[in-house]
Amino acid sequence: MRTGLKAILCVGETAAERDEGKKNEVLENQVREGLSGIINDGIASATELLIVAYEPVWAIGTGKNCDIEETKMTVEFIRKILPAGIKVIYGGSVTSQTSGDYIKQAGVNGLLVGGASLNSEEFVKIVNSAE
C-alpha cells in the first residue's frame, strides 16, 4: 500500500575524510550500503520513493557550505552510482545567498534546509530562489 512517504538517504564525508582525499570512496560506500536492500532487490518504484541528499558532515550547522563547483562534481559522482531517475539534493548550511546557485549551477534537484528554515523570512527567500 502506498503511503506517499519518501525516504531521504543522507550521505556525506567528514572534514578529515575530505582532507585525506577519501570523499568519493566514503560516498560510494554510503550510497551502496544505504541502498543495498532497495536497489539490489529490484524494487521498481525506488526512483519514486527515494531521494539522496549530499550533506557533507563538516557543513552541517557550521555555517560553512560546500562551494558550488565542488557540489556539482560531487553530485555528478553520486548520480553515476545511482539508478537513473533518483533525485539528488544538497544540504549543509544552505542560505538564501547560496540556494539558487545550488539549484541552477550545481544541478541539484532540491535542497535540504536545516537551521535557515527556522527563520521564516530566510526560508521564504530560499524557496523563492529555487523557482
Give domain limits for the chain. 7-129
Q: Domain 7-129 is classified in which CATH homologous superfamily?
A: Aldolase class I (3.20.20.70)
pLDDT score of 1 more than 80: no
Residue 87 bridge partners (DSSP): 51
Q: Higher model confidence: residue 130 or residue 77? A: 77
Tens-place pLDDT, residues 46-69: 677 889 999 999 998 888 889 999
State the pTM of this model. Answer: 0.89
pLDDT score of 44 more than 70: no
